[in-house]
Chain A
Amino acid sequence: MATAPRIWEKLETIDARIIYLILWIVILWPFIYPIGLPVSIGSYSLAYAKAIDDLPAGSIVVVSFDFSLGGLGELYPIAIATLHHLFTKPVKIVIIAIWSDGAIVADMVLKDLKPDQPPYNRKYGEDWIFLGYAPGGETAMAALGKDFWSTLPTDYYYKKHVSTYPIMQNLRSANDVTLLVSLETGTPGADEWVRQWYVPYKVPMIVGCIGVMAPTVAPYLAGGQVKGMLPGLRAAAEYELIIGRKGLGVASADALSTSHMVFVIFVILGNISYFMRRRSK
């Protein structure tokens, strides 16, 4: 049996390029031919959806885009799904950005969703409004908490004073806000919102963030300041399944499953070949 050990030896010193090729295939494949691999739904995602479902009619929700173009890969599906969910509820939605690029991103998402058209038919200025970018990071959060009108005096699309819009009549400070949704990639983000909005005004919030941020947001979930969290693409898929609107997240979930499984298979293969080779020695 001189051949068997050679197979293991070959497998152990496999050309890395074969691994790369297989990864390319398993990630491209699900986007061309979706598989629909099962996704288990975590408690954070359920809590996130519940926070929106539980909103009483007419309550004011502030959605803040706290990320730049670089975060789109993971946050775009979350943003689309969250706004879709909100636009189907009888609540008032105020969209802002704490990052300068956040306004550009928010504009992209809104252009994609078109809330004033079916199936949403929500009226701009009455049901929702987009106020644009508030410069100053954490200082801007504090200022918004105190006084919305003076911090963001005009809206993004028409540059008209906020006092001319019916939706803004009931929104003067963070005290009027029922829920804050922060979509974020880093600082300023959850830490700062908790400091500026939760501590003084007790505004509950939910967070959509990139995967690496999850450990920094998790303590606030335990502490109750954050009601729900969607970290990364995987959570986006879970959320899309909860609200019943399959999108980019679900499509990516297949690719995530296949790539992770290939990772595990490679590790197992590597160990089998290692032990077989050692045994044959």
Chain B
Amino acid sequence: MSVELFGVLLGVFFTLAVYTFLYRENPYSRIAEYVFIGAATGYGIAYDLDWLKNQWVGTWSKTMEDSILFVLALLLAVLWYFRFSKRYFFLYRIPLAITVGTYIGLALRSVVFAQVIEQVRSTAALKVVGIDPWTAFNNLVTMIIVVCTLAYFTFTVRQEAAFWKPVNKFARYAMMIGFGSAYGYTVLTRMSLFIGRVQFLLGIPPNPPEAKMFFPWVALVLLGTLLGYDYYKKTKK
């Protein structure tokens, strides 16, 4: 068997091994799980090393100052490892603080625009006059839903006044409709993904056609051993 063909067999095996998990946790799904975690971790390490090398070659090795900064960063990176030291474990908080600080800073400045200002502005800019009535109606509905849902989440106000009850009810209904539609909408992409795997198993192009040769046999072996074992255990009892 050529290496490429063996690769296709591996692909078919791992695909089906994942789906045996739907039946129950079993040795095949466990093989898939551990191989995946091992290989993915290895991939991550390789990827990061490659990235580090590119950073060094592409950017930081150019000037003396940058080189020193790079080495300093690597030294700080090693401090993470002190997490395992009983005496000096607190040293790992330094790289942690640098990381958290930088990204909290980035988050503060990006979130305020992308998630707050932009959204508030596009809601305030919804027009209800000078456009066709259907769009005006939709804009009005959008605005009311946004305001009511925002109000619904208030934490520190006793929601006793009379207007709260209808507002909260409306917000909850709107949320349920929204959540339902998002759920239903996603069914399409999830089914499409699985259809993609079925096409792989059946060797439909662009997938390697050899897959359909392996599919029935691998499926038979996996299912046969699993069901056979469970049947055997059941009858023995």
Direct contact of A and B (CB under 8 A): yes
- Seen from chain A, the residues whose Cβ lies within 8 Å of a Cβ on chain B are 17, 20, 23, 27-28, 31-32, 72-74, 76, 108-109, 112, 210-212, 232-234, 248, 251-252, 255-256, 259-260, 263
* Interface residue B129 (Cβ < 8 Å from any Cβ of A): no
Known: A232-B189, A256-B188, A260-B187. A27 touches B199 (CB 8 A): no
Known: A17-B22, A20-B22, A73-B199. A31 touches B204 (CB 8 A): yes
A185 and B177 alpha carbons, distance in the complex (Å): 27
Q: Which 6 A-B pairs have the closest CB atoms?
A: A73-B196, A211-B189, A259-B191, A20-B22, A233-B192, A255-B195
Instruction: List the B side residues contacting A20 at CB < 8 Å.
Output: 22-23
Instruction: List the B side residues contacting A211 at CB < 8 Å.
Output: 188-189, 192
A178 and B202 alpha carbons, distance in the complex (Å): 39
User: Which residue on B lies nearest to A72, using beta carbons?
Assistant: B206
Known: A72-B206, A76-B206, A255-B198. A263 touches B192 (CB 8 A): no
A73 adjacent to B192 (CB under 8 Å)? yes
A20 and B195 alpha carbons, distance in the complex (Å): 14
* Residues 182-208 (chain B) with a chain A CB within 8 angstroms: 186-189, 191-196, 198-199, 202, 204-206
Instruction: List the A side residues contacting B194 at CB < 8 Å.
Output: 23, 27, 259
Contact of B189 among A17, A31, A212, A251 (CB under 8 A): A212
User: Which residue on A lies nearest to B188, using beta carbons?
Assistant: A211
A252 and B188 alpha carbons, distance in the complex (Å): 12
A-B contact pairs, 13 of them (CB 8 A): A27-B194, A27-B198, A28-B202, A73-B192, A73-B199, A76-B205, A108-B206, A112-B206, A210-B192, A212-B186, A251-B204, A256-B188, A259-B195
B198 adjacent to A232 (CB under 8 Å)? no
**In angstroms, how far is the closest chain A Cβ from the Cβ of B40?**
15
B199 adjacent to A248 (CB under 8 Å)? yes
**In angstroms, how far is the closest chain A Cβ from the Cβ of B177?**
16
User: Which residue on B lies nearest to A73, using beta carbons?
Assistant: B196
A255 and B195 alpha carbons, distance in the complex (Å): 7
Instruction: List the A side residues contacting B205 at CB < 8 Å.
Output: 76, 112, 248
Instruction: List the A side residues contacting B195 at CB < 8 Å.
Output: 27, 73, 233, 252, 255-256, 259
**In angstroms, how far is the closest chain A Cβ from the Cβ of B80?**
31
B192 adjacent to A256 (CB under 8 Å)? yes
User: Which residue on A lies nearest to B196, using beta carbons?
Assistant: A73
Instruction: List the A side residues contacting B191 at CB < 8 Å.
Output: 27, 255-256, 259-260
